[in-house]
Amino acid sequence: MEYLTLEQQNKQRQKKASLWLIAIVLIGLSVWGVWQLAAHSSKPNGPANITVDSVSAGDNVLGRQDAPLTLIEYGDFQCPACAAYNPIVLKLAGDYPDQLRIVYRHFPLKSIHAYAIYGAYAAEAAGKQGKFWAMEELLFANRSQWAAPGFEQRFINYASQLNLDTEQFKKDYDSQEVKIKVETSYENALSLGLTGTPTFFLNGEQISPPADYNKFKEIIDEKLNQK
């Protein structure tokens, strides 16, 4: 009967240990790969190719698609300044129905506005039933009421006020699709280096928030004259 020498035994142990290590690594990689595949296949994609130079699929747009001017706002539903500018922006949309389209993108300032992201979910859920802008107006007008505990019931009340299917609204509000769309918009704002709201882009050029409606109108008129 042959016996392994001590050196041969050590080499055999090292070989077995190496094989076990390789097996563990391969199993780990396989599990990670399956998890990645499941994660990407189960989550809907957010809006692609978001830029300040063009309107993206999934953007919330008010106005003619072929309007020569596009005003993109990155806003936060809990932001006092955004609420103050909202009537101005909507008035501009009404005064320039053929020349200006408005795009609203979400940039909830999570560190200081705890409820803003939920307002974004509510607006997107209403948008699934064609009432994004109506909900947007309600959220800004009633900012001090819903930005508090019990906000979800208030959103449902707003949905009922807008004659939405409230059961569908609740499902959309909780959906991954809505959450991913809001998060995609938020990440887009961060990638642009934005730090505050509202931030406006007019035909791809960032503009400082004008002092009032007349100043905003002057900027619009000047841009139209350049066209």
Domain CATH code at residue 127 = 3.40.30.10
Sheet holding 205-207, edge to edge: 60-62, 100-106, 69-75, 199-202, 205-207
Question: Does 51 map to a domain?
Answer: no
Query: Into how many domains does the chain fold?
Result: 2
138 and 221 co-located in one domain: yes
Instruction: Check residue 32 and give its pLDDT.
Output: 40
52 Cβ contact partners less than 8 Å away, ≥ 6 residues apart: 72, 192, 201, 204, 206
Instruction: Check residue 10 and give its pLDDT.
Output: 55
Instruction: Judge contact between 37 and 67, C-beta under 8 A.
Output: no
Q: Before 198, cis peptide (omega within 30)?
A: yes
Question: Does 220 map to a domain?
Answer: yes
Measured between alpha carbons, how far is 109 from 99 in angstroms, rounded to an integer? 31
Question: Does 64 map to a domain?
Answer: yes
Report CA-CA distances (Å) from 198 to 71, 83, 194, 208, 215.
Answer: 12, 9, 10, 9, 16
Tens digit of pLDDT at every position of the chain (227 positions): 333 355 544 555 565 555 555 555 455 544 344 334 333 333 444 455 689 988 998 999 999 999 999 999 999 999 999 999 999 999 999 999 999 999 999 999 999 999 999 999 999 999 999 999 999 999 999 999 999 999 999 999 999 999 999 999 999 999 999 999 999 999 999 999 999 999 999 999 999 999 999 999 999 999 999 97
146 and 180 co-located in one domain: yes
Measured between alpha carbons, how far is 100 from 87 in angstroms, rounded to an integer? 15
Instruction: Check residue 16 and give its pLDDT.
Output: 53
65 and 13 co-located in one domain: no
Amino acid in the structure at residue 113: H
**Residue 139 sits in which domain range?**
60-226
Which among 137, 116, 114, 142 has a CA at the least distance from the CA of 127?
A: 137
Interstrand relation of 100-106 and 69-75 (parallel, antiparallel or unpaired): parallel
Task: Answer positive or negative: Cα dihedral of 142, 148, 150, 151.
Answer: positive
Q: Is 11 helix (H, G, I), strand (E, B) or coil?
A: helix
Question: Does 203 map to a domain?
Answer: yes
